[in-house]
Structure 1
Amino acid sequence: MANSVAEKLKLYSYWRSSCAHRVNIALALKGLEYEYIPVNLLKGDQFNPDFKTINPMGSVPVLVDGDFVISDSFAIIMYLDDKYPEPPLLPCDLHKRAINYQVMSIVLSGIQPHQNLALIGYLEKKVNAEEKTAWINNAITKGFTALEKLLVNCTGKHVTGDEIFLADLFLAPQIHGAINRFQINMEPYLTLIKIYESYNDLPAFQNAVPEKQPDAPSSAI
């Protein structure tokens, strides 16, 4: 059940952020209404003093629930899962839960930080375009190779079975970005592609894609 208008959550976000993409999926799965507040990272909105008051790290996403502020996508998703436990985002099975955490960690620390906007901006000042692309591609393919080996023998319809869990929320945006933003060749990752295609019929995933966010430019649609 969606929360009331008086209690509506606020999400500070940027349309192309894969971190925000994860939270968009979580909010949709939980059936929660929220106010979307765009933070244009290309224009430097994240450095605005008012926004830095909300999140001193100057990053998105940021969730505001009444007078409580949470930054970091993992913290936000876990907060939502604790406060709105249905449907659960972690399986009861101990082994499946561990796999979910592993997938989350590989994406969160092993891939995404190496392709984020701040790093890309830094690389563009230090190396040529070919070297920048090689850096990003290496980080993504290294992570995808690890994920493929981890998941090849343990998936169901989705990452750890036929239900959507935490790992799916992290994997879907990462693959979407790899394909659409960085043009990564997915042929070596048959397991990952099979999982990714399983989200095609799920509105919570399809409506959360960057191209459908309120601040997405018309050229992205």
Structure 2
Amino acid sequence: MSNLLLQLHEDLRFREGLSACMNCGVCTALCPAASYFEYDPRHICQIVQTGDEADLESLLKGDEIWQCGQCLSCKARCPRGNVPGYVIQALRKLSQLKGFFMYSEEGRKQLRIKRAIGHSILTTGYCVHPRLVDPAVHPEQGPVWAWAFEHGAELYKLCGSAFYDAQEGGLRKIPQDVLNELGSIFYETGAFKLWEAIEGEEVKTKNKQER
């Protein structure tokens, strides 16, 4: 068994997600992502089952594992009880820990997600808070969002939102003790260690480029 496959087997999601794939292709046939991208969960399971070290490394360095939307449609329909979505979760984590995600355009987006959504959860209690979606950073949101961002306090309160005030209502300010509890959850589940690994690879890449 290859070294990478051994590491995958350490992940409970991998062990539960892949037991006896017969490459029937049902998962790919019903997969929404496969309708839009060059994404094939059947192919991923096939690579993993063969256990070839070079093929696994190529998979971990590629875009394909980042195209799954995690809808888990595959879980409900696989005749053998496999869950390619779980396999993808394990592959993504290993790609992050090994630094292989930096080789992929889709993989490098993990840095943005970590810095945007991850930090938003810990500082506001929300996955995405309007105050943090700065038009200067997200020009794709367009001029309407730029206006909404500038007039947020007035606009959201017209809709009945607390908009980060310490009162009842949507977008209310989350108490610090609750934010501290969220931080404890991140710590205990190993999220901070994974974040450090992701940021560390960014630093390594920049140092290599500067040499």
TM-score (norm 2): 0.30
**Which structure dedicates a bigger proportion of its chain to strand?**
1
Structure having the higher Rg = 2
